[in-house]
C-alpha cells in the first residue's frame, strides 16, 4: 500500500530532512506534496530523482492526504492543523503546537502501532526530551527515577538555517579580527553565537524552553511526579546537541548494570569513555541512534550520563518518519 504524504514547511531545514528521510528509508509514498510560505512557493524540492513543486499553503492542501508532517512554527501549525485533521489525515506535529490540544508526545522507539492507530495527531517532542527519554526509560523501568537534572547544549542549527549561517559568518569575522556588524547578528538570535555560551532556558519562537522539555519528558516517562530541572544553553556548535543527564534512582546500581540497561533500549548506542572522541557533537549527524557515555555512578544511586544527538535527524525529522513507519506497520 502507498500513502499520500504532505510536508508543510518543505523548504526549511527540518522539512527538507523529512523528505530526505522518506526517500532514504524507502517509505511507501504514493504522492508527495510540498507546501511552504508564499515566499517559498514556486521553488522545487527533490524527491526520488524528481523535482516536486512547492505550493503555497492553503485550505486545499490536505485533500486526499494520508499523513501530514508539520515542520513549521507553532502559529502556522495551529492555523492549519484542524483542517488536516478534518480531512482524516494522520498528523505529525514537529512544532509542538498540538500539545496544547492534549495530543501526546511520541518517540518512535517508545510507542506501538496499536497506540498510534487510536490517534489522529501526535507531537514529536523537543529534541532534549527525545534524547533524555531514550536514556531514562530503561532506567525508570529497572530502578525507578526520583530526580532528573538536564543540561542541554543546543547547536546553531536548532535555530534554523539562519542560525548556521550566523555562526559561520560570526566565526569568520572574529577569526579575522573584524567586529561584528548588524548582518552578523540576526535579530532573532539570543546573543552572539560564535565563541559564546548563552542561557536560553525561556525558549523562543523556534525552540522550546526548559518547562516544555521537562513536561514532555515526564509525560514520556509516564511519571508526572518526577522532579525535573533543566538548563538550556546556546552553544557555538553548527550541528548536533549535547546533553548531560544527572539522575537519582530508587535502587542501588553500578556502572555495568546501567550500561546493560541502556544497551537494551532501541535507539541508544552505549560507548566507553576511551571512545569519546569518536562521538563528539561535531560527528553526531552521522548517527541515527543516540550515542551515550556512562560517565559516573556515584553513591550507588546517582548516575551521570553524557550523550549527543543529531538534532535535525533523530531529534526531529527521523523521529517523525519513524513514527509514520510505526503508524503504517
Query: SS3 breakdown of the chain: % helix, strand, coil, rounded to 5?
Result: 35, 25, 35
* 108 beta partners: none
Q: What's the pTM? A: 0.92
pLDDT at 292 over 90: no
pLDDT at 100 over 70: yes
Q: Which residue in this structure is represented by grid cell 547547536?
A: 155
- Tell me the CATH architecture of domain 3-103: 3-Layer(aba) Sandwich (3.40)
Predicted local distance difference test score (pLDDT) of residue 323: 98
Domain ranges for the chain? 3-103, 128-310
**Domain 128-310 class in CATH:** alpha beta
**Mean of the pLDDT values across residues 41-55?**
96
| Cα dist from 82 to 1, 62, 77, 141, 187, whole Å | 26, 10, 9, 36, 31
Rounded-to-integer distance, Cα 307 and Cα 299, Å:
21
What element of type H or E holds 292? strand 290-298
Give every CB contact of residue 275 below 8 A, 6+ residues apart in sequence. none
pLDDT at 276 over 70: no
Confidence of residue 83 (pLDDT cuts 50, 70, 90): very high
pLDDT at 282 over 60: no
Predicted local distance difference test score (pLDDT) of residue 187: 65
Q: In the chain, pLDDT over 70 holds for what percent of residues?
A: 93
Amino acid at each position: 500500500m502507498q500513502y499520500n504524504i504532505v510536508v508543510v514547511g518543505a523548504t526549511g531545514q527540518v522539512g527538507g530532512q523529512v523528505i530526505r528521510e522518506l526517500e532514504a528509508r524507502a517509505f511507501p509514498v504514493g504522492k508527495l506534496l510540498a507546501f511552504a510560505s508564499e515566499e517559498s512557493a514556486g521553488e522545487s524540492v527533490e524527491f526520488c530523482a524528481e523535482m516536486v513543486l512547492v505550493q503555497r499553503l492553503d485550505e486545499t492542501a490536505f485533500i486526499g492526504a494520508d499523513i501530514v508532517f508539520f515542520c513549521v512554527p507553532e502559529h502556522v501549525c495551529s492555523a492549519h492543523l484542524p483542517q488536516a485533521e478534518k480531512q482524516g489525515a494522520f498528523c505529525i506535529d514537529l512544532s509542538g503546537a498540538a500539545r496544547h490540544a492534549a495530543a501526546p508526545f511520541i518517540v518512535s522507539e517508545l510507542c506501538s502501532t496499536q497506540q498510534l492507530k487510536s490517534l489522529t495527531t501526535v507531537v514529536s517532542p523537543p529534541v532534549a526530551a527525545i534524547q533524555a527519554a531514550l536514556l531514562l526509560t530503561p532506567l525508570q523501568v529497572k530502578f525507578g527515577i526520583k530526580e532528573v537534572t538536564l543540561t542541554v547544549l543546543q547547536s546553531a542549527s536548532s535555530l534554523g538555517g539562519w542560525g548556521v549561517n550566523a555562526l559561520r559568518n560570526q566565526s569568520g569575522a572574529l577569526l579575522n579580527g573584524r567586529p561584528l556588524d548588524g548582518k552578523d547578528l540576526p535579530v532573532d538570535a539570543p546573543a552572539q553565537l560564535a565563541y559564546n555560551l548563552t542561557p536560553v532556558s525561556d525558549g523562543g519562537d523556534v525552540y522550546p524552553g526548559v518547562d516544555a522539555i521537562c513536561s514532555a519528558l515526564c509525560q514520556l516517562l509516564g511519571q508526572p511526579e518526577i522532579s525535573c530541572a533543566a538548563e538550556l544553553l546556546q552553544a557555538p556548535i553548527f550541528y548536533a546537541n549535547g546533553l548531560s543527564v544527572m539522575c537519582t534512582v530508587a535502587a542501588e546500581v553500578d556502572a555495568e548494570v546501567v550500561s546493560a540497561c541502556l544497551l537494551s533500549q532501541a535507539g541508544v548506542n552505549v560507548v566507553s569513555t576511551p571512545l569519546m572522541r569518536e562521538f563528539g557533537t561535531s560527528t553526531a549527524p552521522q548517527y541515527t541512534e543516540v550515542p551515550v557515555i556512562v560517565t559516573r555512578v556515584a553513591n550507588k544511586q546517582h548516575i551521570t550520563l553524557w550523550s549527543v544527538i543529531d538534532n535535525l535527524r533523530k531529534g526531529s525529522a527521523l523521529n517523525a518518519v519513524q513514527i509514520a513507519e510505526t503508524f503504517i506497520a
